[in-house]
Each structure stands twice: as structure tokens, then as C-alpha cells.
């Protein structure tokens, strides 16, 4: 039973006339707030106002207006984030925001931003980059199912945004998973930003598309409150498949000179026009204040939002024999399997690569916490972000190169402050014969650019185990890069690692240069050190396993020991990876960083051949050292 249904006059909340009046009040708030801001999307908000009125005030959505983060209750995602004014208006009418606060829309010191962000406790994911809300909704629905909750997730989309392919990736997975507690809502107002939408009001096309993806699709008049309520009721009683509500609406609905008119997208009404519009709406508008809800005077402090708990697993890591060759991707899979029993909120997602990334080990042990997203990486990351909003710790894994197509989802997860973990395997030219299209060479740069991200790159099985655990215990967005080739174990099982750390793996009193590597290039650096020592030249070798945060103090001390002669070597493009991370910290101290990285278009071949061809082999490292020493 929803909060509104629990009030003494519950039946009146199903009164279509009253709900229609509340919808008009939401329109008035949307107009006033955007006019006060001088920008925004009032007409996009107005088309969805009746849908929002029924959902929030018609006894449909089970929510607590004073505790929106209650994990037992339903969730709402505004995927068409530009319609933020109507979202804020609904929460104001529900009693969470003061009405006066609505006029602070888009101001620097206001939580009511132009598109919804996590500064607001009733916003689970930042939206505004269109096409991503449904994926997050899938993640929330899966999380509720894992936890045995009867909670539903509602996702409001625009008809323009469902041209995005990620929407259909999400739609396919939702049907495969039979997520009957997921309800999509499409505001079909037929107008995009610059022109009419592709199908305008051809509702049968929308219906047939969603039905083809396995959804229960309902077409109705989005401004006829009786039909709106009936559609919601049908969705609530549908089993074994998700439901999408296809609402035929008018952009700017409720105001004669705005309804269905082009040229108003993203434009606030001038004050004079706003007053005219409000004058049309006011005779048929009504506050929800008579529902016995008590308004707050201002927004709750976002710092009171519950944080995801940080796990503290106490399991013993798998002990690897030193010198034995083990791929870090395999050790990563072993670590997930080991930690799964100690971190009950860990959920692993896969993009049809589990037998290569070794996440199949977790799948076999914890099938109920494994999500097969198939070859749909954008949706996989979006689902993972949705899972994180329900307190889960998602680890999404695929080949590093395929994560690049999901960069916008990763970017938005960063803006959502999601507790999201990613693993990219098969990185660099060292994968060998598969060729350039499979070689992740951009991933370190991509992940370093994400707000407050952690980027880790283990070199052997022990470091892969320890860094996987560190990442899962860290609260925030993080990435671990694993390798395809097997590499020798160089660390003891009790070796300690930390975020922002590095390891000195070779040092002598006579070192004349420092070489910094990570992953496969660490071993190329060690081989180069052996070859150089035969010629009387000794070098220091550093394992920079933490790319972000980088070990600034440790690397600076290492550089100072060897006369500021420092070389980085990485199986990554020259731009944005390990070399730039080190140079970004040390160049300000006067240390010149000499970078060895992949240049030129890669080709299929043996890993050793490719390392040599692209200038990052042990021979190339030794040659660079000799060159710098004259």
C-alpha cells in the first residue's frame, strides 16, 4: 500500500478529476520554476504531468515522501532527465520540497539542477544523457528480486530517446529476465528537440516494437486520467513479463498556445507568456496539500543519504607458487569466487565473455548473483549502476576494448557517484593473434578521466587477487585491467598492496635509471634489467600497479635515486595511460618522464613479436636506457 493510500481519504486519490487537477498544478510549478530560472524544459515536463500525477498521487507507486531511500519501497527513474521540473514539482506536492524552493531551479547553490543528480535523495542515478534510465531500472529490478523484495521500478522515458540502442539492449534483457516488477513509461509527445520524432504519434509502431521485444505494451491517451489509471493497474497485475505504458501526449499540454507546438523545446516562457499559461491552468489546478502530508520547509541534507557499506572480507587469498605462470584474468576470477561468500552484496555481470574473463567461476558458485547481459556492454554498465543504487556491489566484466562503447554509461555512473566496479581483460597488443580490433589500448585513458575513479593494473596472480579485493572494498567507481598472457608469480601471498601504492621489484645501490611498468611490461622491464646488468648497467624497476591514484611520493623518490632518469613502459597508447599519469605528477618536480608506449596500427601476430614491433619489449627498454645514458 502506498503512502497516499494510507491516508484517511484514500478513495479520493483515485478520483480522476482530482488527479487531473494535480497534473495541472505540476504544470504550473514547471512553468514557474523554468521562467524563474530563465531556462529549462517546461513543455517536456507538461506532457508528462498527468502520468506523474497518477503515479505519485493515485495510489500507484509505493513510496514514502519523507524517506525516499527506504529500500523496501518502489523506485522511480526519470530517464528523460530534461523534464526535471515536473519531477521536482511532484516531490514538492508530495511534501519533500517546499514550493518556494522550486524557484531556485538551476541556481548554483540549489540542489534542483537542470537535470536530476544524486544531490537529491529521491534521485538514484543522474540522468540527462538519454537512453540510460531503463538499464538502471533493470538493475534495480534485479536487485529487488535478489533481495526478495516486492518493490517495483518505474522508468519514465521520452519517445525521442528510445531511438537509442541502449534502450533496446535493456528492453531485451528485461524480457529475458521476466522482470514483471519493472514498468516502463514512454511519454509519446511526438516532438523532439529540433523536429518531430521519427514515428510521431504512430502508436501502433511503438506497440509492435515493444511487443517484439517481449514486453506487455499498453497504448492509451496520456491525458485521459481514467485511461492512465487503468494502464497502471494493468501493469501492476501483469506477471512474467515487463510492461511498457505508451502514453499518447502533447508537448506543452494544458496550454492552448503551447500544446503540440514546435519550437518550444528547452525554452522557458517569458514572464508575460508564463502568466497567460498559468491563467489557463489555474482554474483546473489543485495542490496535493489536502492529503494530510506535512511539507518540509526545505530539502533534506543530502549527507543524510545512506551510504553503501564497505565490505571487510577476512578470507585468506589463494596461495600461488612463486615463479609459476598464471594469467591475471584467471586470478581475478578466482578472487571473485573466493570473495563471493564473504561479500553477500557482490553481483557479477558478464557480456558473454565469462569463459575468457573467468567470471564463470563466480557464476558456478553464486548463480543467483550472476547476471548474463550478453553482447550489450552499454546496457551491462547501466544495469550495474542500477544494482549499485540498491546497495549491491556490481562487478561488470568484459574485454577492455568493448568497454569503450559504454563510456557514456561509465561517465554517467561517475556523475551518479555509483559504487561500480569494472574489469577489462585482454588488454593491449600482448593479446597477440586476435588483431587490432580486440586490443584494448584506450581503457586506462578512458577510466582515468572518470570523476574520482580508481584504476588498477596487476602484474601477477597475487597482485590480481589483492587488488580485486581492494577494489571491491573501496566505495566508488573503479577499474581493474587484467591480461591475457600468463605471467610469473613474483609476490608472496602475504604481500600488502594499497590504493595509490607501487612496488620496487628490483633495486641496487648502483642503479642509474628507473623503469616503471605495469602488467606485462613489468616483466619486460625485468628482462631488460637482466640484459643490461650483463653489460654493467643496473636499473631500478617499479611496479606501478595503482595507475589512479598514482604513487607520487614513491615514484618521485625512485626517480631522485637515479638522477631523475625515469622511463615508463606500457601496453597502451601513448596518450592518457601510465606514462601520462606519472608525468602528470613528476614533471612539476622537474623530472622528465620518457614514455614507451604502443604507437602505430597493431596487427595480428605473436605477443613477443608485437611487443617488439611496437617498442615496448625488453630489447626496446634496454635500448632506451642506453640511449639516455649516452
Give the C-alpha separation, 250 to 573, whole Å.
Answer: 49
CA distance 456 to 431: 19
Question: In the predicted model, is pLDDT for residue 381 greater than 80?
Answer: yes
Which has the closest alpha carbon to 323: 543, 512, 100, 489? Answer: 489
- For 249-285, write each residue's pLDDT tens digit: 999 999 999 999 999 999 999 999 999 999 999 998 9
249 and 189 Cβ atoms separated by less than 8 Å: yes
Q: Does residue 166 contact residue 125 with C-beta atoms inside 8 Å? A: no
CA distance 238 to 175: 13
pLDDT of residue 311: 77
Is pLDDT of 622 > 90?
Answer: yes
- Is the confidence at residue 286, as pLDDT, over 70? yes
Q: pLDDT digits over 413-426, tens only?
A: 999 999 999 999 99
Question: Interior CA angle at 145 toward 139 and 149, to 5°?
Answer: 115
- Name which of 147, 144, 152, 146 is nearest 184 in CA terms: 152
Given its phi and psi angles, is residue 469 left (phi above 0), alpha (psi -120 to 50 degrees) or beta?
alpha
CA distance 570 to 613: 14
pLDDT at 195 over 70: yes
350 within 8 A of 373, measured Cβ to Cβ: yes
Among 203, 181, 77, 87, smallest CA distance to 134 is for 77
397, 406 Cβ separation under 8 angstroms: no
- Kindly tell me if the per-residue pLDDT of 344 is higher than 80: yes
Pairing of the two strands 503-506 and 486-488: unpaired
Tens of pLDDT, residue by residue over 454-476, are 999 999 999 999 999 999 999 99
Q: Would you say residue 1 has pLDDT above 50?
A: no
Catalytic residue among 113, 161, 330, 377: 377
- Indicate if the pLDDT at residue 306 is higher than 60: no
For residues 150 and 147, give the distance between their C-alpha atoms in angstroms, rounded to a whole number. 9
**Mean pLDDT of the region 44-52:** 98
Share of the chain above pLDDT 70, in %: 94
State the pLDDT at residue 10: 40
Q: In the chain, which segments carry CATH 3.40.50.920?
A: 503-629
Of residues 516, 520, 513, 555, the one with CA closest to residue 535: 513
* Cα-based distances in Å from 266 to 43, 114, 130, 413, 443: 8, 11, 15, 25, 35
Question: What average pLDDT does this structure show over 162-169?
Answer: 98
Instruction: Give the pLDDT confidence score for residue 92 in this predicted structure.
Output: 96
Q: Is the pLDDT of residue 290 over 90?
A: no
DSSP-assigned beta bridge partners for residue 245? 185, 218
Mean local confidence (pLDDT), 429-450: 96
Residue 315 has pLDDT above 90, yes or no: no
H/E segment holding residue 288:
none
- Other beta carbons less than 10 A from residue 567's beta carbon: 24
pLDDT at 220: 98
* Distance in angstroms (rounded) separating the CA atoms of residues 508 and 498: 24
- Residue 319 pLDDT: 87
CA distance to 234, 514, 545, per residue, from 456 (Å)? 48, 21, 6
Contacts of range 206-213, beta carbons closer than 8 Å, 24 or more positions apart:
206/159, 206/246, 207/246, 210/171, 210/184, 210/244, 210/246, 213/168, 213/171, 213/172, 213/175
Task: With cut-offs at 50, 70 and 90, classify the pLDDT of residue 187.
Answer: very high
Q: CB burial class (10 A; 0-12, 13-18, 19+) of residue 612?
A: middle
Whether 590 and 410 have beta carbons less than 8 Å apart is answered as: no
CA distance 377 to 375: 6
219 pLDDT more than 90: yes
Pairing of strands 539-543, 503-506: antiparallel
User: Is 377 in the active site?
Assistant: yes
- For the packed helices 16-37 and 271-281, what is the interaxial angle rounded to 10 degrees? 170
> In which residue ranges of the chain is CATH 3.40.50.970 found?
16-294, 325-488
pLDDT exceeds cutoff 50 at 289: no
**Residue 310's pLDDT is what?**
67
Q: Which pLDDT does position 14 carry in this prediction?
A: 86
- CATH topology for 503-629? Rossmann fold (3.40.50)
Question: Could you give the percent of the chain with pLDDT greater than 90?
Answer: 91
State residue 550's pLDDT score. 98
Which class does domain 16-294 fall in? alpha beta
Task: Write the pLDDT tens digit of every residue in 511-529.
Answer: 999 999 999 999 999 999 9
Dist. CA 377–CA 384, nearest whole Å: 10
Q: Are strands 346-350 and 243-248 parallel, antiparallel or unpaired?
A: unpaired
Residues facing residue 456 across a β-bridge? 480, 546
Contact 369, 146 (CB under 8 A): yes
Cα(624)–Cα(224) distance, integer angstroms: 74
Q: Taking 50 as the threshold, does the pLDDT of residue 9 lie above it?
A: no
State the alpha helices, DSSP H only, in 535-606. Answer: 552-561, 578-586
Q: In the predicted model, is pLDDT for residue 325 greater than 60? A: yes
- Highest mean pLDDT, choosing among 10-14, 294-298, 539-543: 539-543
Cα dihedral sign, 130-73-210-172 = positive
> Furthest-apart CA pair in the chain: how many Å?
92
**Architecture, CATH, for domain 325-488:** 3-Layer(aba) Sandwich (3.40)
Cβ proximity of 217 and 244 under 8 Å: yes
Three-state secondary-structure class, residue 472: helix
- The confidence score (pLDDT) of residue 11 equals 42
Of 184, 138, 157, 164, residue with least CA distance to 83: 157
Q: What is the C-alpha to C-alpha distance for residues 135 and 409, in angstroms, rounded to an integer?
A: 10
Distance between first and last Cα of the chain: 79
C-alpha to C-alpha distance for 307 and 297, rounded to whole angstroms:
24
pLDDT, residue 297, reads: 34
pLDDT digits (tens, 9 = 90+) for 547-573: 999 999 999 999 999 999 999 999 999
Mean pLDDT value across the chain: 93
Edge-to-edge strands of the sheet including 370-372? 370-372, 346-350, 393-399, 421-425, 478-481, 454-456, 546-548
pLDDT-based confidence at residue 314 (cuts at 50, 70, 90): low
Going by their DSSP bridges, the two strands 565-573 and 513-517 should be labelled as parallel
What whole-number distance in Å separates Cα of residue 242 and Cα of residue 236? 10
Chain mean position to CA 342? 24
pLDDT of residue 630: 84
Contact 338, 386 (CB under 8 A): no
d(C-alpha 157, C-alpha 321), whole Å: 53
Are the C-beta atoms of residues 487 and 541 closer than 8 Å to each other? Answer: no
pLDDT of residue 403: 98
Amino acid at each position: 500500500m502506498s503512502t497516499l493510500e494510507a491516508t484517511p481519504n484514500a478513495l479520493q486519490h483515485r478520483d480522476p478529476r482530482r488527479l487531473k487537477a494535480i497534473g495541472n498544478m505540476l504544470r504550473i510549478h514547471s512553468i514557474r520554476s523554468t521562467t524563474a530560472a530563465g531556462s529549462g524544459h517546461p513543455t517536456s515536463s507538461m506532457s508528462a504531468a498527468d502520468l506523474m500525477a497518477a503515479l505519485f498521487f493515485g495510489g500507484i507507486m509505493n513510496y514514502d515522501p519523507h524517506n525516499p531511500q527506504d529500500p523496501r519501497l518502489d523506485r522511480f527513474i526519470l530517464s528523460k532527465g530534461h523534464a526535471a521540473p515536473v519531477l521536482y514539482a511532484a516531490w514538492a506536492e508530495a511534501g519533500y520540497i517546499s514550493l518556494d524552493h522550486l524557484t531556485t531551479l538551476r541556481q548554483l547553490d540549489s540542489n534542483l539542477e537542470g537535470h536530476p543528480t544524486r544531490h537529491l535523495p529521491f534521485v538514484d542515478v543522474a540522468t540527462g544523457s538519454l537512453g540510460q534510465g531503463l538499464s538502471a531500472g533493470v538493475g534495480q529490478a534485479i536487485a529487488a528480486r535478489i533481495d526478495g523484495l516486492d518493490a517495483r521500478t518505474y522508468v519514465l522515458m521520452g519517445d525521442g530517446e528510445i531511438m537509442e540502442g541502449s534502450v533496446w539492449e535493456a528492453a531485451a534483457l528485461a524480457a529475458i529476465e521476466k522482470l514483471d516488477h519493472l514498468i516502463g513509461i514512454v511519454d509519446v509527445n511526438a516532438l523532439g528537440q529540433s523536429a518531430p520524432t521519427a514515428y510521431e504519434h504512430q502508436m501502433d509502431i511503438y506497440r509492435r516494437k515493444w511487443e517484439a521485444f517481449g514486453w506487455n505494451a499498453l497504448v492509451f491517451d496520456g491525458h485521459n486520467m481514467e485511461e492512465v489509471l487503468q494502464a497502471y493497474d494493468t501493469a501492476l497485475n501483469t506477471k512474467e513479463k515487463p510492461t511498457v505504458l505508451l502514453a499518447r501526449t502533447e508537448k506543452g499540454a494544458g496550454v492552448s498556445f503551447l500544446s503540440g507546438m514546435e519550437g518550444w523545446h528547452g525554452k522557458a516562457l517569458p514572464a508575460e507568456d508564463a502568466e497567460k499559461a498559468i491563467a489557463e491552468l489555474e482554474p483546473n489546478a489543485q495542490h496535493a496539500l489536502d492529503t494530510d502530508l506535512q511539507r518540509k520547509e526545505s530539502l533534506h541534507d543530502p549527507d543524510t543519504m545512506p551510504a553503501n557499506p564497505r565490505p571487510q572480507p577476512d578470507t585468506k587469498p589463494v596461495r600461488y607458487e612463486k615463479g609459476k605462470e598464471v594469467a591475471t584474468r584467471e586470478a581475478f576470477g578466482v578472487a571473485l569466487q573466493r570473495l563471493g561468500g564473504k561479500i553477500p552484496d557482490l553481483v557479477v555481470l558478464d557480456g558473454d565473455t565469462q569463459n575468457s574473463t573467468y567470471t564463470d567461476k563466480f557464476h558456478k558458485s553464486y548463480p543467483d548473483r550472476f547476471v548474463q547481459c550478453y553482447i550489450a556492454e552499454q546496457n551491462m554498465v547501466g544495469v550495474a549502476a542500477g544494482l549499485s543504487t540498491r546497495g549491491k556491489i556490481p562487478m561488470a566484466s568484459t574485454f577492455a576494448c568493448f568497454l569503450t562503447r559504454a563510456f557514456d554509461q561509465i561517465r554517467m555512473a561517475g556523475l551518479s557517484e555509483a559504487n561500480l566496479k569494472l574489469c577489462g581483460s585482454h588488454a593491449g597488443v600482448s593479446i597477440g593473434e586476435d588483431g587490432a580490433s580486440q586490443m584494448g589500448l584506450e581503457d586506462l585513458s578512458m577510466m582515468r578521466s572518470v570523476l574520482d575513479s580508481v584504476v588498477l593494473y596487476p602484474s601477477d596472480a597475487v597482485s590480481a587477487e589483492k587488488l580485486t579485493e581492494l577494489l571491491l572494498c573501496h566505495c566508488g567507481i573503479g577499474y581493474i585491467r587484467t591480461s591475457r598472457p600468463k605471467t610469473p608469480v613474483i609476490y608472496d601471498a602475504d604481500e600488502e598492496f594499497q590504493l595509490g601504492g607501487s612496488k620496487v621489484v628490483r633495486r641496487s645501490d648502483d642503479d642509474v635509471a628507473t623503469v616503471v611498468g605495469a602488467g606485462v611490461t613489468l616483466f619486460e622491464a625485468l628482462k631488460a634489467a637482466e640484459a643490461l646488468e650483463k653489460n654493467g648497467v643496473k636499473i631500478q624497476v617499479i611496479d606501478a600497479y595503482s595507475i589512479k591514484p598514482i604513487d607520487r611520493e614513491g615514484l618521485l623518490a625512485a626517480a631522485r635515486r637515479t638522477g631523475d632518469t625515469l622511463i615508463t613502459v606500457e601496453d597502451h597508447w601513448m596518450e592518457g595511460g601510465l606514462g601520462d599519469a606519472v608525468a602528470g605528477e613528476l614533471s612539476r618536480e622537474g623530472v622528465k618522464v620518457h614514455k614507451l608506449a604502443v604507437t602505430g596500427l597493431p596487427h595480428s601476430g605473436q605477443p613477443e613479436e608485437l611487443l617488439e614491433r611496437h617498442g615496448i619489449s625488453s630489447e626496446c627498454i634496454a635500448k632506451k636506457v642506453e640511449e639516455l645514458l649516452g
